[in-house]
Structure 1
Amino acid sequence: MNNWAEYVGYIASAFVVGSFLLKQIKTIRLVNLVGCICFVIYGIYSGMLWPIIIPNAILAVVQVYHLIKND
């Protein structure tokens, strides 16, 4: 790996995969939100990778909405 953005991408993958291993919906949403944010950062710093940025930004908004709505 030659730059820190790649590390962020791997961390994002770990958070998203990890969210599928959990049972409590609030925890799932929080862990997935962190993964989505990391993917957006990765997409931006890896050359504006829109196919990564757009869906993960949308999913982050959805996760925030549900976290706020359910509290």
Structure 2
Amino acid sequence: MGWEYLGYLASALLVVSLTMSDVYKLRWFNLLGCIAFTMYGAAIEAWPVALTNALLALVNMYHLHKLRHSREDSSRS
């Protein structure tokens, strides 16, 4: 299997993420797409692609953490 299929998968995950109306789901699909693009970029030694998507994955993880805690707080009320 060529690395280009990983790139296609990453692209598909990002497109799917943008169709989500639920921000929590959007962040999860976007995170998976960013992780796939990070792996793809590292595999083909496209370091700007790998670095940018690794940073975006961290941003998604931060927002998922915040969303999870806000959901937990609202369910306690």
The normalised TM-score by structure 1 is: 0.89
Measured in 1, the distance between the counterparts of 2:5 and 2:23 equals 27
Matched, 1:19 2:17: yes
- What is the aligned residue count? 68
Measured in 2, the distance between the counterparts of 1:59 and 1:25 equals 15
Matching residue's letter, 1:30 = W
Structure 2, unaligned runs of 5 or more: 69-77
The one of 46, 49, 61 aligned to 2:46: 49
Task: Report runs of 4+ in structure 1 exceeding 2 Å deviation.
Answer: none
RMSD: 0.9
Kindly report which structure 2 residues correspond to 1:30-69, keeping only aligned pairs within 5 A, or say none.
30-46=28-44, 48-69=45-66
The normalised TM-score by structure 2 is: 0.83
Please state how far the C-alpha of 1:34 moved relative to its aligned partner.
0.3
Map of 2:2 onto structure 1: 4
Measured in 2, the distance between the counterparts of 1:6 and 1:41 equals 11
Higher Cα radius of gyration: 2
Matching residue's letter, 2:62 = Y
Map Cα deviations across residues 24-49 of structure 1 (whole Å, 9 max, x no partner).
Answer: 00000000000000000101111x20
